[in-house]
């Protein structure tokens, strides 16, 4: 992968792994756009790294994704990094299913929607990459590897269905990074 002269959009880029990736890509002569729900965190990043473009958006909302795609047509590396984790216990019953829905929407549905909406723009370029970061903070999930494979498969399906031979002739690459299981701080 060419690590210079790219346009990189990173969801969940205002802190943690997303911010570390933004700093690294930025230091390698890339245009970097970070997306986060938190305007306060984005302002803090902008103050420290004025070269990084910040964009407040909720990637679980289709209109937010449409705005990102329309505004950043030059993206050739899409990093799906945003993630949330809410503690829930199936043994004790789930009191608030909205938290579980939010986790599923943010961690699984949003990355698939982002990938699908960026297809035309990614396919219009010669060198593109979709990188998904899987945050396995779900301590109760028995088979983390299965979830990593499922997430990658869900995000690459739209690309495979876009054109029967697209992946054979197009340099789009889908990658997933599964982080080690750890408890949130």
pLDDT for the residue numbered 47: 97
pLDDT for the residue numbered 85: 72
> Are the C-beta atoms of 58 and 64 separated by less than 8 Å?
yes
> Are the C-beta atoms of 101 and 32 separated by less than 8 Å?
no
Of the candidates 176, 151, 165, 80, the residue with the CA atom closest to the CA atom of residue 123: 165
Domains along the sequence of the chain with CATH: 7-86+106-178 (3.40.50.720)
Rounded Cα distance between 86 and 51, Å, is 33
Rounded Cα distance between 173 and 131, Å, is 8
pLDDT for the residue numbered 152: 55
pLDDT for the residue numbered 90: 65
pLDDT beneath 70, residues of the chain: 1, 87-91, 134-172, 174-185
- pTM of the predicted model over 0.85: no
Q: Which two tokens stand for residue 140?
A: 């109760």
pLDDT for the residue numbered 53: 98
> Are the C-beta atoms of 94 and 100 separated by less than 8 Å?
yes
pLDDT for the residue numbered 74: 94
């Amino acid at each position: 992968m060419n690590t210079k002269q790219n346009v990189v959009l990173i969801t969940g880029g205002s802190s943690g792994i997303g911010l570390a990736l933004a700093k690294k890509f930025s230091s390698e002569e890339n245009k970097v756009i970070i997306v986060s729900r938190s305007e306060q965190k984005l302002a803090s990043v902008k103050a420290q790294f004025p070269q990084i473009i910040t964009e407040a958006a909720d990637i679980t909302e289709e209109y937010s994704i449409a705005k990102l795609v329309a505004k950043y047509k030059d993206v050739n590396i899409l990093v799906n990094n945003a993630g949330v984790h809410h503690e829930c216990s199936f043994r004790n019953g789930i009191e608030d299913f909205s938290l579980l829905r939010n986790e599923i929407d943010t961690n699984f549905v949003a990355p698939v929607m982002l990938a699908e909406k960026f297809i035309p723009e990614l396919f219009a370029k010669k060198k593109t990459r979709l990188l998904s970061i899987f945050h396995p903070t779900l301590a109760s999930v028995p088979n983390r590897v299965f979830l990593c494979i499922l997430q990658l498969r869900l995000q690459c399906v739209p690309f495979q269905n876009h054109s029967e031979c697209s992946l054979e002739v197009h340099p789009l690459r889908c990658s997933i990074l599964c982080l080690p299981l750890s408890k949130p701080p």
